[in-house]
Structures are given as structure tokens and as C-alpha cells.
Structure 1
């Protein structure tokens, strides 16, 4: 794990910072996304360089009870493969446990299978999905 990274729980993160982070790895950012999503989050964890630059983020949504959901895990491409994403998810896992959640869920694309199952410790389960928008 890099020494120059600090991890922050529920620290202020701006919509603009998350827009830039999402764009940095080829995502499809939307202005105002974080401002809309934040009130529905149980928690979030952010990773910052010494100068405060945001280099990683994970959102922890929940149902208000037993189930929490890892969403929007992001690490800048020039900081990937350094353990930052794994640390973000581990800290989100701890936050869900401390909040009294019984289950932590994650959905992911196939190319992220090794990250979530091997590095982060999730186990595969059967699940279903209905796409609500055309591809």
C-alpha cells in the first residue's frame, strides 16, 4: 500500500472531483451525480494524495437495514494496481459492519471478477438483473 495515500471516511468530496475521477478512467460522468446520490449513502471512502488530490473512491449505499451495497469503486488509472481499490473496499466493508449490516453486496462486470472475489473477498452468488434502459 502506498505511503502517500490517506483514506478518509465520509470526508467532503465534491461533485466536480468525482466527475474528474470518473472521466480519468473512461467512465461516463454526469454533472450533479454525487449531489443526487450522496443523501442515499450509508458512507463512502475516499483516497487522497498528500496534496489532497482525490485518486480513489467507493460509495456504500444501503437499504436502511441489513443490506449494504458497494457501488462506484474508482481509482485513477495512474494509481491502479497499488492496493488502493482493495483498501477502499475493505474500509467500506468495515463501515457496513459497524453500521450493523448483515450483508454486503457488489455487482461487477466480468473483467473485475478477480478484483472483487480474490482481492476483496466477496464470494459468488446467484443473482438476477433486468436492464431498464436499452444498451
Structure 2
């Protein structure tokens, strides 16, 4: 099956569907409608039927902090190297765009995946934390 990488975010509907299909935590439609347009960079992968089957994006202040997030590939299309293609695109953009000393972070949910792009665990020097608005 052929896939095409596109430099654009998914639709709000497909963003919600992909997160659910990939077993990721739920986001409200309002949050996604507000957040997607504020992406610094977003990529999607579409299949031959022009359906978005993968996504990833970078958010941040476009100077000192960049956060890789919303990396998802639909389970029916996993194990095709699509996650790597998405991550390659994000990292190429970061390398071309971010100034030296910029901090790039992410919340890793796949063991051993992000290290190939140079990401390192922060513990024990620091601990990742989160707060969810209810």
C-alpha cells in the first residue's frame, strides 16, 4: 500500500478518531479546535484512499521550547514505518527551524522508539509531570 506524507494537520474529526484508535487519552473537541491551528508544525500520512492514517505535530514557543506531541498511527497501518516517517519529518523541521540550545521534549509512550532521534530519558536528573484540567 502506498502512503503519502503531507505537511498539514489532520481535521479535528480525524485527530479525535486517530487518538481514540491508537488508545491515547481523550481530548475534547473544543480543545482540539482551539489547539490544532496553533501547531508550529504538523504532518499527516494518508493512504491510497486519501484517508489520514497517521499524524504528529510540534507545539511550543518557536524559540526556546518545542514539544513533540500527538504522534499516532492507526492500528491498521502500524508496522509500516509510518511512525518513523512522521518523526523524521518533525525532526528535520526542528533541525532546520529551532535555534541552538532550544529544548525539545516529548512524553514517550513507546519503549525504545524516540531514542533513535537522540532523545534521552530525563530521570533521575528530572521527572516528567503533568496536570489535567478537569
Would you say same fold, with TM above 0.5? Answer: yes
TM-score, normalization by structure 2? 0.81
TM-score, normalization by structure 1? 0.80
1:25 and 2:55 correspond: no
Aligned counterparts of 1:39 and 1:65: Cα–Cα separation in 2: 18
Task: State the Cα distance separating 1:63 from its structure 2 match.
Answer: 1.8
1:108 and 2:108 correspond: yes
Q: Is the 8 A contact 2:9 2:42 kept in 1?
A: no
- List 4+ stretches of structure 1 deviating above 3 A: none
Match of 1:34, SS state, is helix
Task: State the Cα distance separating 1:13 from its structure 2 match.
Answer: 2.3
Task: State the Cα distance separating 1:74 from its structure 2 match.
Answer: 0.3
Task: State the Cα distance separating 1:32 from its structure 2 match.
Answer: 3.2
Q: Is the 8 A contact 1:14 1:34 kept in 2?
A: no
Q: Which runs of 5+ in 1 are unaligned?
A: none
1:36 and 2:34 correspond: yes
- Report the RMSD for the aligned CA atoms in angstroms: 2.2
Q: CA-to-partner distance for each residue in 1:50-90, whole Å, 9 max, x for gaps?
A: 22101000011122213321101000001112110111011
Q: Which runs of 5+ in 2 are unaligned?
A: none
Q: Is the 8 A contact 1:23 1:29 kept in 2?
A: no
